[in-house]
Amino acid sequence: MSKLEDIVSLCKRRGFIFPGSDIYGGMAGTWDFGPLGVMLKKNLMDSWWHFFVEKRDDMYGVDAAILMNPRTWEASGHTATFADPLVECKECKSRFRADKIANNITESVTTEEFLNTHTKCPVCGKENWGPIRKFNMMFETHVGAVLPDDNAELADKNKAYLRPETAQGIFTNYKNIVDTIYPDLPFGIAQQGKSFRNEISPRDFILRDRECYQMEIEYFVKPDTWEENFEKMRALQHDFLANVAGLKSEDIHEYEVPAEDRAHYSKRTIDFMFDYPNGEEELMGLAYRTDFDLANIARESGKSMEYRDKKTNETFVPHIIEPSIGVERLFLAVLSTAYTEDEIDGEKRTILKLPTHLAPYKFCVSPLLKNKPELVEKAREVYNLLKEKYTFVTWDDSGNIGKRYRKQDEIGTPKCIVIDFDTLEDDTVTIRDRDTATQIRKKIAEL
């Protein structure tokens, strides 16, 4: 298994991910995606959308606003329950999420249970803790020109939140979609977008950060069919992770979340855990939300959330199956799987064995020598040809050919194409494979 520090180093060195606001000293829990990171992330998101939405006839997309009426979060239960167990060290005043620094406890840990673990402060090494407090993770903001100091009552009225999940934007649009599209049950509504969580202690690179992209589906079903639809979605998630994201099945484990640790809206949840370099962590979730969300919206808004069956004319409030995944967590899982080290002729090399459809570039085109105009001209011709056909093609003429190969191996480019003097004679090029380092010659017309 790769080491997290090696992946972090590669990401910064090759332009995948940089620390957020790094030039000003950074900001904990924020990360900036560079040129290659943007491309890999887009490929991941596009692949998920194609697999779960575009290939199917029962899925519809939305793109809801990040800022929503605060009543959304009251109805959903987030205002009251979206909280993590915060504990403070009385010695150094450092604050932590209790269940992440102590062994064998859960998010529902009590003060007594935590103290019985005799956990020492990761900062000062002392064991002198305050009580467990629930810390709501939603980011607050204010809409309009009134600030809290101007008029506290009005400022509170104008309070809003950066959304902690994309799901509520789907639920609030459920009626809009039923009224305009009127799809047959079962059907799903999908959304990709940013979510914000005021994590107590961001950690482990992009695994736990304060803003992230989520990809979620709310799948609306007849209440008595939830179990069969749950199992279908469960199988689809495994299919996606293995055959689209390229993860190894032995690195993925299902965890049946016990009732006391499930989210307030869930009657059943399976967490798909992944063996990251730093240990097993949640990658993806599958939850049965019953009619919790639609029933709450109906009560809060006074509008019916019932669906009328086209065939039987029966009316009911659908139940919901929710597959949800964080893009950054998937990004790190893909990098962890792809990161490989080997040796060629006694020289160590680093490779990102990314699936071809996810790799930022599919091909790299190079002239053997950049100071030979005839080679450069021919290489540009080949580059333009491939760029027109495949889009994701890069050019590299810096350093010797060996260094170019090593660079492309590190960023995951599957094929390198080199134009040499033989190309000028017979219109063939050298094609080098990333994973095996083997080389073949092929006619330009066959590329």
Mean pLDDT in consecutive groups of 10 residues from the start of the chain, 447 residues: 87 94 90 96 97 96 93 83 83 87 83 90 91 84 72 70 92 94 94 90 85 96 96 96 96 91 85 94 94 92 92 93 96 96 86 96 95 93 94 94 94 96 93 95 92
> What whole-number distance in Å separates Cα of residue 312 and Cα of residue 310?
6
Three-state secondary-structure class, residue 94: coil
Q: What is the pLDDT of residue 346?
A: 79
The CATH code belonging to domain 4-69+148-335 is 3.30.930.10
**Nearest 5°: phi and psi at 49?**
-65, -40
Burial of residue 145, with CB atoms counted within 10 A of its CB: 0-12 exposed, 13-18 middle, 19 or more buried:
exposed
Give this prediction's pTM: 0.88
> Domain locations in the chain?
4-69+148-335, 361-446
Q: What is the pLDDT of residue 245?
A: 96
Helix, strand, coil percentages, rounded to 5, for the chain: 35, 30, 35
C-alpha count within 13 angstroms, C-beta hemisphere, residue 242:
12
Q: What is the pLDDT of residue 363?
A: 97
255-288 in b/e form (b: 16+ CB < 10 A) is: eebeeeebbebbebbbbbbbbbbbeebbbbbbbb
Q: What is the pLDDT of residue 108?
A: 78
- Assigned token pair, 273: 């855990």
Which superfamily is assigned to 361-446 in CATH?
A: Anticodon-binding domain (3.40.50.800)
**Cα 102 off chain centre by:** 26
Cross-strand bridge partners of residue 211: 196
